[in-house]
Structure 1
Amino acid sequence: MSNTDLHYLGVKEIARMIRAREISPVEVTARLLARIEKLDESLHSYALVMREQALAQAQEAERQLLSGGPIGPLHGVPIAVKDLYWVAGFPTAAGTTIHKNFIPSTDSTAVRRLREAGAILLGKLQLTEGAFATHHPSIPDPVNPWHPNHWSGASSSGSGVATAAGLCYASLGTDTGGSIRFPAAANGLTGIKPTWGCVSRYGVFELGASLDHPGPIARNAVDAALLLGIIAGNDPLDPTTLPETRLDLPESGHDLRGLKIGIDHAWNSRGTDDVIVRALEQVVNTVKNLGGEIQEICFPEVRTVVDEWQVNCGVEVAVAHADTYPRLASEYGPALTRLIELGRDTSGMRYQEVLLKRAALRGKVTKLMSDIDLLIVPVQPFAAPTHEQLGALAQDPELNARLIQYTAPFNSSGHPTITLPCGFTEGGMPIGFQFVAQHGAEALLCRAGMAFQQATHWHQQNPGL
């Protein structure tokens, strides 16, 4: 098998090949490490490549395979994680310079569960500073493998780039205002933002604790569901995790028969590029062909909650950085500085007003979702933005509010979403959309994603690297 065939395979397929001994964990890991060495000098997706440990893990995985010992669902499969997740003995910089020497003594719960499933950890993936809007001025931005002039998504930028470029088979990201969904859409990938509390946040550096959602980014819904099933579940180390111990996720989804799928055409097209609106029309047609029943709905007004997302997040990020800000303020980049200052300047009364409006939105969305099974929503209102178009993001609250108008509401409400590729722009850049479901309905999301991808080919396209 050639390198070209190997690095773009899915997680489930490469795991099958390893179990069948068609290829060894050592060979797979060595090939991906060679690809990282060849390409990542220009893509900048990795904050840290754990080469020696990865090869040692691969050798142990090979030994276990040959000895006939028990193996997990990710046995020998190379995965990488956003550099917010603790990995024992390795730095977790969180996209900053102030934490570059922080070395945790234990794994995050999600990383531990990946290891227990047999995954090989290739390294830590780059992200925006502290997982907010832009990268630290001293750290190169990860480069979109479809076109270097276009946004690679934020904040899980390295996770999106590495997965799309064939530098890992899947990755972990986090999503506080869109940070799994933006990179998934920008790089032609599938990403799941689970229900808040579905995946443990233990050992994951905070941006906004009540808004942060750890989750997987993969090349298809089958692989994303596989990873989510491994990392999800109750965790005594994180008392905010939901009580369920496991997710009953499907391995396939053939159709959408019997499902009511809501769409608010007016909201979805509000200031949204025509190419995205047209792509959503094709999504609706596919859903109908799969037996889904489209229902016109009216989504609750979200502008106030979207506008106040930064206030909510700002207070929480100020708490998360209290040990280092303002003490090390000079080492922070401008975007994260502005967010922390906003939080520090927010009064308790103002913060309570924000929380009450957020709670009201959660209730309204929950009520809406009780009448339908799924909701179709864009990921963002403009397709494949260039770096120039987003250059003012850190300084322009209005632009940021527009960017997150379809993502932040579901961080505020905690509802789960799956992002799926659904087309390309005329310039060949990927477009994504979201299915949204009721709290705890990840199995339904994964079924819908699998059914959609059995009927479409967008997720099978790869950048020409």
Structure 2
Amino acid sequence: MSVEPLHYKSITEISELFRSGEVRPSEVTEAILTRIAKLNGELHGYALVLAERAMAQAKSYDGEIAKGIWRGPLHGVPIGLKDLCYTSFATTAGGTMIHASFVPSFNATIVDRLERAGAVTLGKLKMTEGAYTSHHPDDQAPLNPWNVNYWVGSSSTGSGVATSAGLCYGSIGSDTGGSIRFPSATCGLTGIKPTWGRVSRYGVFPLAVSLDHVGPMCRSAADAAAMLGVIAGADVNDPTALQAPVPNYLAGIGDGIRGLRIGVDRKYTQDGIDPQIVTALLEAERTLRDLGADIREVKFPSYEKLVSMWIPMCSVETAEAHLETYPSRKSEYGPDLAQLIEQGRSVSGVQIAAIHHERLKFSGSLAALFSEIDLLLIPTMPVPIPTLAKMSEYGADPNVLLSILRFTAVFDFSGSPTITLPMGMASDHMPLSMQLVGPHLAEDVLARAAHAFQSVTDWHTRRPPVDCGATIGAAN
């Protein structure tokens, strides 16, 4: 049996190594920091590395675990934070130049929850400017560890790169139009975009408040479930956070999916979709059927009009979020975010009302669909991962952006939970990705279904061809 390098072990595996005393958190943290020092200069996943603080945390957890104190599956596990999460102990720039020196007076709720659970905070991960589509011109964008000539998605770029390359065991991402799902897809990861409000956004820089979701990006469904269980839940500081109790997402993750009703709409998932995506999705469907799922053909609600409304909706909410600094500091903004804000400042109340009504209709139709099925199976993107050259050709063509948003943006409008996971490899040796979508608060079912798929496939265990470094402390 091959031995996985320590930096690529799962959160659940490394957690058990800590509990058994075979490896200490400080040993693992030091190894990951060494790996970051070796690779981050090439991949640019981290905006800021907090090496001294991380080692101090890890050494304190050494002592706790040695005394039999156990905080849960993240105890001693090194993770990374997308740099829109407020941290009182480090700058929080949100991918902008305006906030490059901003040190908040408090932590985001999710940061406090992760650290109370014993996670080691390695640093802040790079992201696009303001969590929109592109990095500020003065910022070096992260590079895809699978192939630096390929797109790494947006906006949780550093989260995708660092988690995929073994520079952390899991990370926090955010998703307004697909920004947990795109970097998960391009980097071969498993990411959960939770139900809107399932995870508090207190202390998280907004892009578009009614569309923003915060969730985990990991290398397996079980790892994502472990992280979600820590960060989810009601928050007195965020009145939009849902009050529903948080289940133990890991407790039933291995229960299988026999009898689970999974819907497929072949027109939605095949018309105009690259043949490699279609072939891989059909194979994933067969795998789920073999696991006992009840595959049902369904008709997905009309979505085209709503997708076309994502940019104006995002723009007006982004304009509102940046009122304190735009247009007063307009010159410090990059062109793409500035253009979005300018568009938002010109959107009329009538346009907003039309978007709101379309959103309500779609959300209602989707809820009705989920009365017939438990989950929906769809791709993450309509095409294999594009090269940077191809993305450059696309430029600011809104039709290209809308095409890419086909399988993502509508579920930000509806607030529906999804899990993104690898389903194959393209002819260019880059990952292919699928999504499972569920009704509100179905994250436990999503994690269970994805885990079942990953228990009989190995796509999520494929690693990018970056330097693996030394294997230390490996389990037998």
**Residue 338 of structure 2: aligned partner:** 337
Distance of aligned partners of 1:134 and 1:304 in 2 relative to their CA distance in 1, 3 Å threshold? same
Could you say what the CA RMSD is over the residues aligned between the two structures, in angstroms?
1.3
Query: What SS does structure 2 have at the residue aligned with 1:389?
Result: helix
Query: What SS does structure 1 have at the residue aligned with 2:389?
Result: coil
Query: What SS does structure 2 have at the residue aligned with 1:404?
Result: helix
**Residue 13 of structure 1: aligned partner:** 13
The amino acid that maps onto 2:208 is: G
Does residue 185 in structure 1 map to residue 199 in structure 2?
no
* Percentage of identical aligned residues: 48
The alpha carbon displacement at 1:342 in A equals: 1.0
Range moving further from structure 2, 267-276 or 108-117: 267-276
The amino acid that maps onto 2:75 is: H
- Could you list the per-position Cα deviations for residues 412-435 of structure 1 after superposition, in whole angstroms to 9, with x for gaps in the alignment? 001100001000111110011000
Separation in structure 1 between the aligned mates of residue 401 and residue 40 of structure 2, nearest angstrom: 29
**Given that residues 44 and 140 in structure 1 are in contact (C-alpha distance below 8 angstroms), is that contact kept between their aligned partners in structure 2?**
yes
The alpha carbon displacement at 1:216 in A equals: 0.2
**Given that residues 254 and 450 in structure 1 are in contact (C-alpha distance below 8 angstroms), is that contact kept between their aligned partners in structure 2?**
no
The amino acid that maps onto 2:111 is: V
**Given that residues 232 and 247 in structure 1 are in contact (C-alpha distance below 8 angstroms), is that contact kept between their aligned partners in structure 2?**
no
**Given that residues 182 and 380 in structure 2 are in contact (C-alpha distance below 8 angstroms), is that contact kept between their aligned partners in structure 1?**
yes
**Given that residues 189 and 219 in structure 2 are in contact (C-alpha distance below 8 angstroms), is that contact kept between their aligned partners in structure 1?**
yes
Separation in structure 1 between the aligned mates of residue 408 and residue 192 of structure 2, nearest angstrom: 12
Does residue 22 in structure 1 map to residue 22 in structure 2?
yes
The amino acid that maps onto 2:455 is: Q
Separation in structure 1 between the aligned mates of residue 49 and residue 210 of structure 2, nearest angstrom: 30
- Could you list the per-position Cα deviations for residues 185-236 of structure 1 after superposition, in whole angstroms to 9, with x for gaps in the alignment? 1011100000000000001100000000000000000000010011000111
Distance of aligned partners of 1:131 and 1:348 in 2 relative to their CA distance in 1, 3 Å threshold? same
The alpha carbon displacement at 1:248 in A equals: 3.6
Does residue 262 in structure 1 map to residue 253 in structure 2?
no
Gapped regions of structure 1 (runs ≥ 5)? none
The number of residue pairs the alignment matches comes to 464
Runs (4+) off by over 4 Å:
none
- Could you list the per-position Cα deviations for residues 77-107 of structure 1 after superposition, in whole angstroms to 9, with x for gaps in the alignment? 1000100101112111001101111101211
Separation in structure 2 between the aligned mates of residue 299 and residue 342 of structure 1, nearest angstrom: 30
Does residue 464 in structure 1 map to residue 465 in structure 2?
yes
Separation in structure 1 between the aligned mates of residue 380 and residue 155 of structure 2, nearest angstrom: 14
**Given that residues 334 and 394 in structure 1 are in contact (C-alpha distance below 8 angstroms), is that contact kept between their aligned partners in structure 2?**
no
**Given that residues 363 and 414 in structure 2 are in contact (C-alpha distance below 8 angstroms), is that contact kept between their aligned partners in structure 1?**
yes
The alpha carbon displacement at 1:3 in A equals: 11
**Given that residues 11 and 73 in structure 2 are in contact (C-alpha distance below 8 angstroms), is that contact kept between their aligned partners in structure 1?**
no
Gapped regions of structure 2 (runs ≥ 5)? 467-476
Separation in structure 1 between the aligned mates of residue 295 and residue 181 of structure 2, nearest angstrom: 23
The alpha carbon displacement at 1:254 in A equals: 4.6
**Residue 120 of structure 1: aligned partner:** 120
Does residue 244 in structure 1 map to residue 244 in structure 2?
yes
**Given that residues 177 and 411 in structure 1 are in contact (C-alpha distance below 8 angstroms), is that contact kept between their aligned partners in structure 2?**
yes
Separation in structure 2 between the aligned mates of residue 425 and residue 69 of structure 1, nearest angstrom: 45
Does residue 347 in structure 1 map to residue 348 in structure 2?
yes
TM-score (norm 2): 0.96
TM-score (norm 1): 0.98
Query: What SS does structure 1 have at the residue aligned with 2:184?
Result: helix
The alpha carbon displacement at 1:247 in A equals: 2.4
- Could you list the per-position Cα deviations for residues 401-459 of structure 1 after superposition, in whole angstroms to 9, with x for gaps in the alignment? 00101000100001100001000111110011000001111111011011010111100
Pairs within 5 Å for 1:219-298: 219-251=219-251, 252-298=253-299
Separation in structure 2 between the aligned mates of residue 4 and residue 411 of structure 1, nearest angstrom: 35
**Residue 382 of structure 1: aligned partner:** 383
Separation in structure 2 between the aligned mates of residue 254 and residue 458 of structure 1, nearest angstrom: 21
**Given that residues 264 and 299 in structure 1 are in contact (C-alpha distance below 8 angstroms), is that contact kept between their aligned partners in structure 2?**
yes
Separation in structure 1 between the aligned mates of residue 4 and residue 288 of structure 2, nearest angstrom: 32
Does residue 153 in structure 1 map to residue 118 in structure 2?
no
The amino acid that maps onto 1:214 is: V
Separation in structure 2 between the aligned mates of residue 30 and residue 296 of structure 1, nearest angstrom: 50
Separation in structure 2 between the aligned mates of residue 394 and residue 409 of structure 1, nearest angstrom: 23
Separation in structure 2 between the aligned mates of residue 286 and residue 406 of structure 1, nearest angstrom: 21
Separation in structure 1 between the aligned mates of residue 152 and residue 240 of structure 2, nearest angstrom: 31
Query: What SS does structure 1 have at the residue aligned with 2:391?
Result: coil
**Residue 403 of structure 2: aligned partner:** 402
